[in-house]
Amino acid sequence: MRENPPHSEQAVEVMLAEFNALRAEILSHATAQAAVIGIGLTALGIIIGFVAKEGGSDRLLLAIPPLALGVILLHTSERYRVNTIGRYIRQELWPSLQQEVGTVPSWQIEDNARRLSGKLNALAVLLNFAGIGIFLVASIATLMQVGPGEALWWVDLGLTAVALAVPIGIGLMISAAARA
């Protein structure tokens, strides 16, 4: 067994404190994801309610694709932050901690290895969260309901395409970073 430097216990304490703080930050981002979806679904319900109301205009539906894009961007950015923190824990913090205390099993590292074995993370980011799917379906349904006929419809088509592409792109970035 190797001799530990005198500051080893302090280093372990600092690393464990950092680990605990990062895990708390991950929980904070997960809570933010849920809040974004909840607020977005509430707004979606309000818009649909106004349209369904007698005398409501289908043009109000054109507010759904920008709403969907905003929700998806916020949700995906939180997902990216969670993955960035997790990658730091797996690749930097945990190996440093093991260097100080020896090999210690880690559910997070084992679980991550299982998830990355052959699965496309890009689709997981897109489809793993029902909220993203709901907003994409609502955007596409809006485009089909209103139909092309005005400039705003084309803008919404572009926003819907971006709302679909962003989670896939972020998922590909996460997947590539995990393999690196």
- For 74-88, the pLDDT digits (tens) are 999 998 999 899 889
Share of the chain above pLDDT 90, in %: 36
Whether the Cβ atoms of residue 110 and residue 36 lie closer than 8 Å to each other: no
Half-sphere exposure of 109 (CA within 13 A, CB side): 13
pLDDT at 117 over 50: no
Whether the Cβ atoms of residue 11 and residue 97 lie closer than 8 Å to each other: no
The verdict on residue 3 lying in a domain is no
The verdict on residue 158 lying in a domain is yes
Please give the residue range of the domain that contains residue 28. 8-179
pLDDT (tens digit per residue) in 29-85:
988 988 999 999 999 999 999 998 877 788 899 999 999 999 999 999 998 999 899
The verdict on residue 119 lying in a domain is yes
First to last CA, the chain: 31
The verdict on residue 148 lying in a domain is yes
The verdict on residue 152 lying in a domain is yes
Residues 6+ apart with CB under 8 A from 7: none
**Of 132, 164, 156, 178, which is closest to residue 58 (Cα–Cα)?**
156
pLDDT of residue 107: 64
The verdict on residue 1 lying in a domain is no
pLDDT of residue 157: 94
pLDDT (tens digit per residue) in 136-150:
999 999 999 888 888
Total tally of structural domains belonging to the chain: 1
Average pLDDT, the chain: 82
**Of 146, 14, 160, which is closest to residue 73 (Cα–Cα)?**
160
The verdict on residue 2 lying in a domain is no
Task: Please give the Cα distance from 170 to 84 (Å, whole number).
Answer: 11
The verdict on residue 160 lying in a domain is yes
